[in-house]
Structure 1
Amino acid sequence: MITTANGTARRSQEKVVITGLGVYCSIAREVDGFAEALQTGRQGFHEIDEFDLEGCRNRLAGMVKELEEVPTRTGMRSNILLKHAVTQALADSALTDAIPDRSRVGVSVGTSVGGVGGYVDWVAGGEREDPNAVFQTPLNPYNHLRGQECVSNVPHTLLPYEVAKEHGFSAGTSCCVTACSAGANSLAIAADFIRNGRADAMVAGALDTFTPLTYMGFHALMAMTKALPSPFDANRSGLLVGEGAGIMILERESAALRRGAKIYAELAGYGLSNDAFHVTQPHPGGRGAISAMRRALKDAGMTADEIEYVNMHGTGTKYNDLMELKAMREVFGERAGRIPISSIKSAIGHTLGAAGSIEGIASVLAIHQEFLPANGNFTSPIEGFEYDLVTEPRPAPGLKTAMSNSFAFGGNCASLVFRRYEG
């Protein structure tokens, strides 16, 4: 925060840059593998055998098979996914080796179900000989909580707390629970921590785990496809649930330059809104999405003409895809048909609260490595719209800007704008 001559405060105009990345999901368990998977069009859908799926619309999910254990406070799936991504991002940035004051580092995490999955496993487990024994399941094989202790891992705020405690980061923590826009919201909150002078660096991103609760929820909503997800296809029939974690290290530009950090890109701006329409269905005209995209452009000091790629929310459901194409046409005008777009949910499924951060990382890598990730499983376009859908991974030499969209239940809409860092 900068104090002016008359004593008022205003936001710093210093850039917020990205100096570290970490990702753990169904197509890759580290960033280089994630980039390679996106550049080759690899998909990460696996058959579910961890619980009974009789009568369900699909047996596939973008889940992490053979989860690798790392030491955590609880051993729960949520904590393990988060730690994998955080550990990667911190190592990538070399932040903990270089920053002199950890009271200037904060943690911002987003999620949808967070630590609920383990508790649901325990409740659904039925009668057991010793209700106070450690309760492990195929989805949570490393849990070391006992019986009803599983409820103690439900509060989502414990996720950023665990990161802060382990590393001594005390600038503040935040946990954003805005359904499937939570990952994007968490990055926006982290950017504000830096812009407002509360932190020099933030560990920011999101996670969500695969659970019977979320799987059955989307099945009950009839939002689950019977095939593979095919966003923006005329024959799209729904989504597949995924899971994972994506973490970025955001830093104040001057702090990053002072320590000689490598910089992937700049988080140039964000826009948040709520369409105030319906608990699950988006506003049909894209009211919230339009507002979020326009606010992100304004925050970045950019025009719609400067966006070169859009990583779409693209769930593959009937109404969401139509809404997003309408919103694109409203924001980008006649250029909407010429801007390359894609949804990586066709490769990893809908990772719910983690979607905004994992897809944000995909957008950053697109700029940094100059490629466009594919929108897989496509056969035919939706009538009435012109759009440049990236159906195969595509080189993008000189790519400088990307927008990443996340539109969620409860009307929550978020857009992020990333820009190549040029000093």
Structure 2
Amino acid sequence: MLTAGRHRDRVFCVTGAAWRTSLGADRDEVWADLLAGRSGHRVVPGATVLRSFVAGLLPDGPADGGPRERHVELATLTAEAALRDAGLRAEDADPVLVLGTSLGPHIDDPDPGSLHDWTAEAAKRLGLTRAPVSLSTACSSGSDAIAVAAELLEAGYADVVVAGGVDLLTEGKRLGHSLLGTLSPTLHRAFDTERSGMLPGDGAAYVVLEREESARRRGARPLGYLRGWGSTNDAAGMTAPKSDGEAAARAVRRSVEVAGLGLADVAVVNAHGTATVLNDEAEATCLSGLFGDLERPPVVFATKGALGHSLGATGVVEAITLLLALRDRTVPPVLGLTRPMPELRLPVARDAPHAVEGDFGISLTLGFGGFNTCLLFERGPDA
């Protein structure tokens, strides 16, 4: 049930969404592939010895230029697609760009400039006149870009914000995660008792967030609504999360409180699901502590086993999958999951799509450095 009062002005419309993933760029085709249990992973040879050579690379990503140019091009093309999907032109909507990335081109490019430099270049190519916002909060970057966009809308700074995340899998990122031991030598098995790490991937995704009165004025039909957001930090370590999941749980509670809802209103959870031993343990403990004792706990799903872990882009990719799950009242299976870990006391989509009942869902991201961000979305009117 909706709560009247101060929470109602925190409803922001998602009027456009676009992505580039290892399964392709067409939104509904990729969604159909996810529901069918297809994977975008393939063997990608590398110049160095890695823990895994399997990754989810873009089938048609930018191939020319150095790492910086490839990131800028991908950021620009995907943002253009999101604006088209919203039925907007940059010169008319005067939007603000908010772009998140984990590391972007900064490991591999000898002269990448600052993070903000290539964000500004993407905004320039898009024809945007307002100063963009850039941020990097590891694997929570995309989710935090959406949260920052919501804050800009709530403050009245803009009527339209294009919020996205971009990360291409460079050799430096592959080597770094291999040395950290976060890559799986076999499969990506999120929330499985035999999980051994993640499989990485390319990704770019954007949502167009718009104030309700702006969307109504031009007759836009939202894909869904951003109703709440919350973020915390474990303050426990550079790479490992705190095992009790309490900081992540606070982020979830904040997003629910901002929306004026209760935990029982959440029908579906798009989990971070990195398939690393510590991350899945912390996330499962968090979710079970919040929802495990409810009469009707939410259904959990995760998509990195199909798409790869796209680092700073993953939060926006998963926000879009959550909106599609709410639209269709179904979630795709978690690829690689055969024996669910006992710490996760919630229903999980296995082997086949799982039905969803309800209008609200959350997307949770847990990033290196202790970053936890939760976004709460409501089903759109065209569902």
TM-score (structure 2 length as normaliser):
0.92
Deviations 1:77-105 (A, max 9, x none): 212221231121111111117x7452xx1
The corresponding residue for 1:13 is 9
Whether the aligned pair in 2 keeps the contact of 1:115 and 1:154 (CA below 8 Å) is no
State the match for 2:208 in structure 1: 249
166-175 or 285-294, which deviates more: 166-175
> How big is each residue's C-alpha offset from its partner over 1:34-80, in whole Å with a ceiling of 9 and x where there is no partner?
2122221111111113x3143x221111111442569x999722122
Question: Residue in 2 aligned with 1:226?
Answer: 185
Q: Which sections of structure 2, spanning at least 5 residues, go unmatched?
A: 1-5
In the TM superposition, what is the alpha-carbon distance from 1:14 to its structure 2 partner?
A: 5.2
- Deviation, 1:15, is 2.1
- Stretch of structure 1 that moved more, 36-45 or 173-182: 36-45
Q: CA deviation at 1:362?
A: 0.6
CA deviations on 1:160-185 (whole Å, 9 max, x unpaired) are 32333234433442111000000000
Task: Give the superposition deviation at 1:358.
Answer: 0.6
Counterpart Cα distance in 1 of 2:295 and 2:198: 24
RMSD, aligned α-carbons: 2.4
Judge conservation of contact 1:12–1:196 (CA < 8 Å) in 2: no
Aligned partners of 2:356, 2:245: CA distance in 1, in Å? 31
Mean alpha-carbon deviation: is it higher for 277-286 or for 336-345?
336-345
Instruction: Choose from 172, 176, 199 the match for 2:158.
Output: 199
The alignment status of 1:178 with 2:173, answered yes or no, reads no
Moved more, 300-309 or 74-83: 74-83
State the partner residue of 1:57.
51
Residue 31 of structure 2 aligns with which residue? 35
Change (3 A) 1:384 1:96: closer
Q: Are 1:337 and 1:386, in contact at CA under 8 Å, matched by a contact in 2?
A: no
| Count of matched residue positions in the alignment of Structure 1 and Structure 2 | 377
**2:283 is the counterpart of 1:321:** no
The CA deviation at 1:386 is 2.3
Within the candidate set 83, 86, 105, 1:93 is matched to 86
Paired with 1:299 and 1:408, the residues of 2 have a C-alpha distance of 22
Please state how far the C-alpha of 1:23 moved relative to its aligned partner.
0.3
One-letter amino acid of the structure 2 residue matched with residue 18 of structure 1: V
Shift of 1:12: 8.4
Residue 293 and residue 101 in structure 1: after superposition, are their counterparts in 2 closer, same or farther (change >3 A)? closer
Shift of 1:410: 0.7
The residue identity in structure 1 corresponding to 2:14 is I
Q: Kindly provide the CA deviation profile for residues 335-365 of structure 1, in whole angstroms up to 9, marking residues without a partner as x.
A: 3983210110111111111111111111111
Counterpart among 303, 310, 314 of residue 355 in structure 1: 314
1:166 pairs, out of 125, 145, 155, with 125
Deviation at 1:380, TM superposition (A): 0.8
* Structure 2 letter corresponding to 1:282: P
Task: Quote the Cα distance in structure 2 between the aligned partners of 1:166 and 1:18.
Answer: 23
Q: 1:402 to 1:52 in 2, by over 3 A?
A: same
| CA distance in structure 1 between the aligned counterparts of 2:98 and 2:348, rounded to whole angstroms | 32
Contact 2:338 2:350 survives alignment (8 Å): no
Distance 1:63 1:74 in 2: 14
Partners of 1:36 and 1:84 lie apart in 2 by 22
Query: In structure 1, what is the Cα distance between the partners aligned to 2:126 and 2:305?
Result: 35
The amino acid of 2:141's aligned partner reads A
Comparing 389-398 with 213-222, greater Cα deviation is found at 389-398
Distance 1:282 1:261 in 2: 40
Partner of 1:378: 337
C-alpha deviation, 1:260, in angstroms:
1.1
| AA aligned opposite 1:107 | L
CA contact (8 A) 2:137 2:371 kept: yes
Verify: 1:23 aligned to 2:19, yes or no. yes
Shift of 1:404: 0.3
* Maintained 8 Å contact 1:24/1:84: no
Q: Following TM superposition, by how much is the alpha carbon of 1:286 offset from its aligned partner in structure 2, in angstroms?
A: 0.8
SS at the partner of 2:31? Answer: helix
Q: Where does residue 255 of structure 2 map in the other structure?
A: 296
Is it true that 1:112 corresponds to 2:102 in the alignment? yes
Q: 1:74 to 1:327 in 2, by over 3 A?
A: closer
Larger mean Cα displacement after TM superposition, 375-384 or 303-312:
375-384
Q: Which residue in 2 is equivalent to 1:78?
A: 71
The letter for the 2-side match of 1:17 is C
Which residue number corresponds to residue 61 of structure 2?
67
Secondary structure of the corresponding residue to residue 28 of structure 1: coil
Whole-Å separation in 2 of the counterparts to 1:162 and 1:365: 31
> Larger radius of gyration, structure 1 or 2?
1
Secondary structure of 1:308's counterpart equals strand
